[in-house]
């Protein structure tokens, strides 16, 4: 057990990684994107990785504070969960589901049946139709069954079509024929009758040959009585190339009697970014959100990766990047302001500075009021103790609400098997929600302990507790003790 240590209120956040000087006090701002989306009856989500949720405080604060839906980026793909036949690894997927539950978020499962990121034993197994069909059925039953009641929707089938509208070559289509599509949906429904079941694809966002093929498939599945609930439109766009027919295309699928959703939105640009490119990107993001809002059966919009530091784009599209809502320093780009406005948010001109261009591949414009850090505090190593510290921060503050975090970090040579935090608010603040930990408040006193899955902090590691709260007048950082 750690000796108890007080946190001094300073403007400097000190962690095991070094010191970062934070900006001054925040201006009044919109509520988080998740609250704005909920008020419109939709969700706003993002793709996440478990290691970053537990190892990157800024990443976790945005994932927890700004979004009300999470999609595991890779953790639920076949190659991740069953790398060896019959041997399963659920650790990262379980972690993301637990984070979402603690954070009052829904989870979109991604993905059960895909031609890519399959384990070698499956890709190179040379299975006949009967055995492959059994393998597929067992995989779907096992994974969907494990998370029964915990997953809002599954991308059951991913990227079925070539650009010309023909079925993509895959172990499934080549061996089982087109019938594997309806079978996969049926098996998923049997494993979790309450989950919404989607087919997900890219380059189907506008009217065209490929989207026509998907439309005809969905219409056929509906006629067969197959349990198809929705269609996911990935929306990996190039700057300025959002299809003009996006809304009409979403609507025609919805008219088939299925839900629709934007599932993997990013807008890549040739780097370096410029002010003009950032402005166009903001317009593109807003266009997508508005198209979803205009279609009654559009359930929400999910981005693909929290920030430009996490994005898959530069590693796949040479010379392109800066595709997400937040820059490499986890500061909001103009697209955040545009999405907030599209969702009904407002801000006074003095709180919404014009973006400035950056010469780097990942621009860092002046932060908008939606995510400006406020009061911070950090601990010093306890006398004679392990050297582990806790850092309190408020990365987002608006009107009478705020999102906060406390990051527990251990230097090399130090570790914790569990952690506990105590503090007293001095200006009447009240917690309304917490995630990645269990918190109670009695009067001014707040007491928080680790969740079941994040008590251990290894040498050089960290975990982050997140929370939302209310404030009035001022929101100073409290004195916190770590034990």
Q: How many CA atoms lie within 13 A of 252 on its CB side?
A: 16
| Separation CA 424–CA 85 (nearest Å) | 51
Of the candidates 82, 143, 205, 264, the residue annotated as catalytic is: 264
Distances (CA, A) of 45 to 72, 263, 304, 414: 11, 8, 9, 35
Q: What are phi and psi of 255, to 5 degrees?
A: -70, -15
For residue 193, with 0-12 CB atoms within 10 Å meaning exposed, 13-18 middle and 19 or more buried, which class applies? exposed
| Separation CA 77–CA 82 (nearest Å) | 9
| Separation CA 374–CA 394 (nearest Å) | 5
| 82 belongs to the catalytic site | no
At residue 213's C-alpha, the angle toward residues 207 and 219, to 5°, is 100
3-state secondary structure (DSSP) of residue 81: helix
For residue 408, with 0-12 CB atoms within 10 Å meaning exposed, 13-18 middle and 19 or more buried, which class applies? buried
Question: Of how many residues is the chain composed?
Answer: 483
Of the candidates 92, 159, 205, 328, the residue annotated as catalytic is: 159
| Separation CA 121–CA 460 (nearest Å) | 35
Question: Which candidate, 59, 77, 75, places its Cα nearest to that of 115?
Answer: 77
| 159 belongs to the catalytic site | yes
In sequence order, what DSSP letters do the residues of 85-154 get, joined into one string? TTB---HHHHHHHHHHHHTT-EEEEEEEE-SSS--HHHHT----HHHHHHHHHHHHHHHHHHTTTT-SEE
Are the C-beta atoms of 352 and 337 separated by less than 8 Å? yes
Residues annotated as catalytic are 159, 264
């Amino acid at each position: 057990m750690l000796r108890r240590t007080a946190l001094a209120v300073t403007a400097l956040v000190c962690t095991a990684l070094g010191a970062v000087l934070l900006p001054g006090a925040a201006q009044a701002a919109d509520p988080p994107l998740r609250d704005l989306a909920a008020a419109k009856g939709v969700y706003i989500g993002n793709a996440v990785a478990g290691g970053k949720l537990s190892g990157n405080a800024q990443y976790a604060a945005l994932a927890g504070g700004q979004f009300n839906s999470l999609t595991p980026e890779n953790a639920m793909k076949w190659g991740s969960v069953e790398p060896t036949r019959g041997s399963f690894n659920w650790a990262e997927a379980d972690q993301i589901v637990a984070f979402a539950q603690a954070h009052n978020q829904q989870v979109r499962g991604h993905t059960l049946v895909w031609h890519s990121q399959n384990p070698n034993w499956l890709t190179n197994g040379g299975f006949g139709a009967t055995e492959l069909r059994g393998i597929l059925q067992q995989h779907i039953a096992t994974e969907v069954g494990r998370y029964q009641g915990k997953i809002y929707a599954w991308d059951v089938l991913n990227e079925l079509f070539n650009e010309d509208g023909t079925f993509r070559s895959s172990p499934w289509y080549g061996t089982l024929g087109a019938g594997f599509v309806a079978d996969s949906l049926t098996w998923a429904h049997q494993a979790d009758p309450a989950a919404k079941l989607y087919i997900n694809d890219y380059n189907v966002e506008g009217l065209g040959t490929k989207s026509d093929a998907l439309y005809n498939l969905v219409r056929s599945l509906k006629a067969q009585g197959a349990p198809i609930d929705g269609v996911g439109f990935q929306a990996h766009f190039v700057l300025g190339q959002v299809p003009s027919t996006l809304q009409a295309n979403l609507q025609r699928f919805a008219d088939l009697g299925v839900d629709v959703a934007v599932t993997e939105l990013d807008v890549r640009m040739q780097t370096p970014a410029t002010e003009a490119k950032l402005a166009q990107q903001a317009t593109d993001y807003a266009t997508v959100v508005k198209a979803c809002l205009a279609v009654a059966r559009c359930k929400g919009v999910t981005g693909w990766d929290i920030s430009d530091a996490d994005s898959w784009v530069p590693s796949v599209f040479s010379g392109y990047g800066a595709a997400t809502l937040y820059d490499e320093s986890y500061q909001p780009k103009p697209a955040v302001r545009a999405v907030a406005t599209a969702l009904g948010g407002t801000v006074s001109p003095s709180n919404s500075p014009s973006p400035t261009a950056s010469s780097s591949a990942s621009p860092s414009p002046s932060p908008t009021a939606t995510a400006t850090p406020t009061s911070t505090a950090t601990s010093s190593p306890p006398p004679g103790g392990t050297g582990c510290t806790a850092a309190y921060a408020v990365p987002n503050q608006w009107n009478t609400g705020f999102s906060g975090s406390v990051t527990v970090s251990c230097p090399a040579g130090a570790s914790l098997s569990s952690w506990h935090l105590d503090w007293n608010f001095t200006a009447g603040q009240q917690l309304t929600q917490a995630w990645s930990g269990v918190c109670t408040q009695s009067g001014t006193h707040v007491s928080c302990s680790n969740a079941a899955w994040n008590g251990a902090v290894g040498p050089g590691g960290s975990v982050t507790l997140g929370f939302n709260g209310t404030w009035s007048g001022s929101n100073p950082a409290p004195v916190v003790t770590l034990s």
